[in-house]
Amino acid sequence: MSDRRYRNIRSLKYGSIFLFLGLTVLAFILYTNNLADLGTIKVEPLQIKVNVTVPPKHPTTCPKPTTVCSFHSLSPQELSVLNSIKDAIVWPKTPSLPSKLSLNKSSDPAHSTFIILPHDNGESWQVGDQLEVLIKISDFHGRPKSSGGDFLLARLHNPTVRAGVAGRVLDHSNGSYTAVFPLLWEGSAQVEVTLVHSSEAVTVLQKLTQEQPDRAPLEKLCNYTDLHTGEPWFCYKPKKLNCGTRITHAKGGFRRNLRRMEEKLFNSGVNMKVYIPASGPANVTVSTKPKDSPEKVGNVLRTKPSGYYYNGVWRSLDGTTVRQFDTATKMSRCLKGKVLHLYGDSTIRQWFEYLTKTLPGLKMFDLKTPKQNGPFLALDYPNNILVSFRCHGPPIRFSSVPANQLRYIANELDALLGGTNTVVVIGIWSHFSTFPVEVYIRRLLTIRRAVEQLLTRAPGTLVIIRTANPKALSLYEAQTNSDWYSLQHDKVLRAIFKRVKVRLVDAWEMTLAHHLPHNLHPQPPIIQNMIDVVLSHICPQQ
């Protein structure tokens, strides 16, 4: 972190700070004095003092002054949990890369193919059947691959009725794969298979995550370990200022640790996120299931997605009845008397922006905070609705964040009163991609502890978690936020919260199954369906 970001704290304009604090407290006082239905809201004052140079919570982080500190050091107990969770993200073995890498020997989507396997007993396809597709990967010479590890995505869709469902891809570790889909609608069902990354590219991504981040002797680091959660965070110490004068947090540069030939493994339109052609028909015709036929979906299928689209509307298969909140009146009626706390990255901020744009009565209170990272507060006084957004703590790649606004989600949850009128939404994944997976696992474990404690003291609180989603990829995006990283984080999140009483919004499948192009920030039709899922959890059908 440069000296420029350690400007003397006396340069702050105290008048602006106190005005900001006064506006924030005034907003909450006005709201809590008039929203009797919501009960008491605990107001946590904003902290201006950022002098947090303290010893690490875990002795294993820096046991001796001469050792090297690392922000992803773990205690023995955390290591035990980490190892068990890492079993959930074991990836099939990928080929090692020689010093003289040849692109021609890597996976090529243009020479690869897929074929729809025939129905059992030669019967016609019916709603409720399972469709299987065999995928064979070849290199740029057209020679079949003999190893697995390629990252493939599969989708079944029908553009006419705007239907789509994500498929499950099974790796046979010999260059062949099987994609499995449930048949959920009548009519045409077209298969789409995408090579996101070759197995060689996955080898490179694995290497990047395993390489140790920069380390420095203890005396050259500022220790900003969070006192409450024990989350470690270190910054380089400035030459002339002390660690307590930190004012802003900003993302630094990113070093591309790739060899020249390795970069060619991440070529959009050539070998990264490219469709694989079919060697025969790419679609089947599905008929309505006879009334006397047994129910198949969810009973004999080897895979069951969380849901699918039909007529552009998301239909859940996880037991949730998704209602359509297609008017502001319906949304306001559902949210009346509710407090929504949104915590996370820009994909959660996107939900805040959607709500404030869609609900005319939900007015943002101007906290004079940065448009990218907030925090934000919106009020609908007549309907007793409060919606807030706060970005998660480091690592975070927003351009610049005031250091006193870097709040860990676990600490925010510990300060909540909770209750039947409180909804907590969490989405945290994108900013962790350039760090070892241990950092992400530790953060989620900390959040899980806070969620469990919140649900213990306030069982009526509704906690909703948004998963990761696929996005558009370039060479830079592949290194910093590849879909492969996101998928690994998605698996970690599901494993950690598997037995916790939370609701999931499956952003991964909702983005993958939709016909719109992948984007870090999914387009409005997808967001609308996500909000419908959220509101259906808040206001389940009676």
CATH number of the CATH domain containing 190:
2.60.40.10
CB of 359 within 8 A of CB of 443? no
Could you give the number of structural domains in the chain? Answer: 3
Which residue range forms the structural domain that includes residue 251?
A: 211-263
- CA distances (Å), origin 318, targets 54, 233, 308, 384: 46, 38, 11, 31
Non-local (6+) Cβ contacts of 451 within 8 A are 413, 424, 426, 463, 497, 500, 502
The tokens for 5 are 């970001």
Q: What is the spatial distance between Cα 541 and Cα 132, in angstroms, rounded to a whole number?
A: 35
Q: Looking at the structure, tell me whether residues 369 and 390 fall in a common domain.
A: yes
> At residue 455, what is the residue type?
L
How far is it, in rounded angstroms, from Cα 51 to Cα 32? 31
The pLDDT of residue 43: 26
Residues 509 and 466 in one domain: yes
Residue 47 lies in a domain: no
Both 319 and 279 in a single domain? Answer: no
Residue 465's closest CA among 451, 449, 481?
A: 451
Would you put residue 91 in left (φ > 0), alpha (ψ -120 to 50) or beta?
A: beta
Are residue 276 and residue 258 in the same domain, yes or no? no
Q: Does 365 lie in the same domain as 240? A: no
Whether 163 is in a domain gets the answer yes
What is the Cα–Cα distance from 537 to 501, expressed in whole angstroms?
13
Query: Does 109 lie in the same domain as 159?
Result: yes
Tell me, what's the pLDDT at 50?
Answer: 28
Q: Kindly list the distances between the CA atom of residue 311 and the CA atoms of 125, 157, 158, 315, in Å, as whole numbers in the listed order.
A: 21, 11, 10, 10
In a domain, 222, yes or no: yes
- Give the residue among 348, 346, 443 at the shortest CA–CA distance from 387: 348
Q: Do 110 and 180 reside in the same domain of the chain?
A: yes
Q: Which two tokens stand for residue 471?
A: 């996005």
CA-derived radius of gyration, the chain: 25
Same domain (yes/no): 280, 417: no
517 and 386 assigned to the same domain: yes
**Domain harbouring 514, CATH code:** 3.40.50.1110
Residue with tokens 């943002």: 364
Average pLDDT for runs of 10 along the chain of length 542: 37 36 36 31 26 32 36 63 82 91 95 95 89 98 97 98 98 97 97 98 89 57 88 85 88 75 94 97 92 50 85 96 96 98 97 97 91 93 97 88 91 97 97 88 94 97 98 93 95 94 98 98 98 98 74
Q: Residue 196: name the closest of 468, 485, 433 by CA.
A: 485
* pLDDT reported for residue 291: 63
**Runs of H (alpha helix) within 178-305:** 199-210, 260-263
In angstroms, the CA 452 to CA 370 distance is 31
Q: How far is Cα 101 from Cα 261, in angstroms, rounded to an integer? A: 6
Q: In the numeric block, which tokens belong to residue 26?
A: 């005034």
Angle at which helix 483-496 crosses helix 76-86, to 10 degrees, equals: 110
Whether residues 381 and 473 fall in one domain: yes
297, part of any domain: no
Q: Does residue 477 lie in a domain region? A: yes
Helix, strand, coil shares of the chain as percentages rounded to 5?
30, 20, 45
The pTM of the full predicted model, rounded to 2 decimals, is 0.84
Say if residue 337 is in the same domain as residue 475. yes
Asked, for residue 14, whether it belongs to a domain, the answer is no
Within-domain flag for 20: no
Whether residue 53 is contained in a domain is answered as: no
- Kindly state the helix (H) or strand (E) to which residue 372 belongs, with its residue range: none
User: Do 248 and 338 share a structural domain?
Assistant: no
> How many angstroms separate the CA atoms of 202 and 95, rounded?
9
CB-side neighbour CA atoms (13 Å) of 438: 21
